[in-house]
Structures are given as structure tokens and as C-alpha cells.
């Protein structure tokens, strides 16, 4: 019996030590598993495409020599930026002078340029949307004038909208002689009508 009385406190002490160690290990495992499940990957934020505000009309393009003063594009740049796709009248024999007038937006996935064609009897400017590998995603005519003056296109780019006004003196209906359409860039970087 003395042996039991002597060893009982040692057994109780040893049991308490084992239980305490066991609890500490369980708490560490619980804390580790909580930490693992509470980790959240960073949220990817896509930047909104914000277009530079621009007015394209006879005064800002021709009178202010915006098109004439812009640097000319060489043949390689025209090929890289798919000018023949944008300008359906472009051929290897045409003597058109193409220019980059402005960058309306440059972001991590897309860039938007104003590309112009200067010619003796007409001028035209397109808004062209490219990915970062210069793949043409979309384009739209935003300015046009010709020597005869029977048709013209003007655009106001403001608040990420394109207000494109077309004047056509030969339109059959009176209400078609001046037509304004509103466009914006959607999440797929396409120019869409509102």
C-alpha cells in the first residue's frame, strides 16, 4: 500500500503533464488549420478603361492642323497596327499617309489609339482598340471630311462615351441628314452602340 501511495502522486503528475502537452498540441493544430482556411487570395482588380476626352471636328482636326502635324507611320507600323483591316480602301498602290494622332487610353491589357489617314481630297480618323500584342480588337470611324463637303463625321469623346454625328447632304430622309449615335467601350473592349 505504501508503494501505491508513493507512486500515486507521480502518476497523477505524469497524467497532468501528458494531458497538458496533448492540449497544447491540439491548440497548435487548431490554430494552424484556422490560419490555413482563413487565407484568401488577393482579389484581381480590373482597371476601368477611361478614354481621354477629345473633340474631333473640322476646326480641331484641319484648322488646328492636328492631322497634318501628327507623325507619319512607316510601312512596318501600318502592318503591325492592321491599317489595311481598318481602312478597307487601303492597297499597296494607294498613296495614303497614315498617322497616329493620339493615345486615348493605355492600360495593362488594352490600348486605344486615334489613327488618321490624310489624303488630298479626304481625311479620316479611326478609334482603334488593340490588345498588348497589337491585335486589333475593334475600330470605328470618328472623323471624316471630303473635298466635296457632302458628307462629314464629327465626334465628341467625353465621360467614356463617343457621340458620333454624321452629316449627309444626300440622305433621302430629312431626319437622316444629321444623325448622332452614342457608343461606349464594353468589358470585352468592343465599341458598342448604346
pLDDT at 17: 44
**pLDDT score of 188 more than 60:** yes
Residue 118 near residue 68 (C-beta atoms within 8 A): yes
Residue 73 near residue 98 (C-beta atoms within 8 A): yes
Under the phi-then-psi rule, with left for phi > 0, alpha for psi from -120 to 50, and beta for the rest, what region is 12? alpha
The rounded mean pLDDT for the chain is 83
Torsions phi, psi for 67 (to 5 deg): -75, -45
Average pLDDT of the segment spanning 1-15: 49
Q: How far apart are CA 14 and CA 59, in angstroms?
A: 95
pTM: 0.74
Banded pLDDT at 83 (limits 50, 70, 90): very high
Average pLDDT of the segment spanning 49-70: 93
Query: In this predicted model, what pLDDT tens digit does every residue of 106-154 receive, in sequence order?
Result: 999 999 999 999 988 899 999 999 999 999 999 999 999 988 888 999 9
Amino acid at each position: 500500500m505504501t508503494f501505491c501511495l508513493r507512486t500515486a502522486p507521480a502518476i497523477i503528475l505524469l497524467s497532468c503533464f501528458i494531458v497538458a502537452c496533448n492540449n497544447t498540441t491540439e491548440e497548435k493544430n487548431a490554430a494552424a488549420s484556422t490560419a490555413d482556411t482563413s487565407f484568401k487570395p488577393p482579389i484581381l482588380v480590373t482597371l476601368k478603361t477611361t478614354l481621354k476626352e477629345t473633340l474631333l471636328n473640322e476646326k480641331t482636326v484641319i484648322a488646328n492642323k492636328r492631322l497634318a502635324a501628327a507623325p507619319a507611320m512607316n510601312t512596318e507600323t501600318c502592318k503591325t497596327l492592321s491599317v489595311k483591316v481598318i481602312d478597307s480602301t487601303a492597297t499597296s498602290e494607294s498613296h495614303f499617309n497614315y498617322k497616329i494622332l493620339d493615345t486615348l487610353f493605355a492600360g495593362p491589357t488594352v490600348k486605344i489609339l486615334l489613327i488618321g489617314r490624310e489624303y488630298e481630297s479626304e481625311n479620316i480618323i479611326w478609334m482603334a482598340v488593340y490588345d498588348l500584342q497589337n491585335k486589333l480588337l475593334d475600330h470605328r470611324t470618328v472623323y471624316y471630311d471630303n473635298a466635296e463637303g457632302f458628307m462629314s463625321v464629327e465626334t465628341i469623346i467625353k465621360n467614356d462615351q463617343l457621340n458620333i454625328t454624321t452629316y449627309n447632304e444626300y440622305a433621302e430622309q430629312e431626319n437622316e441628314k444629321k444623325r448622332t449615335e452614342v457608343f461606349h467601350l464594353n468589358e470585352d473592349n468592343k465599341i458598342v452602340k448604346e
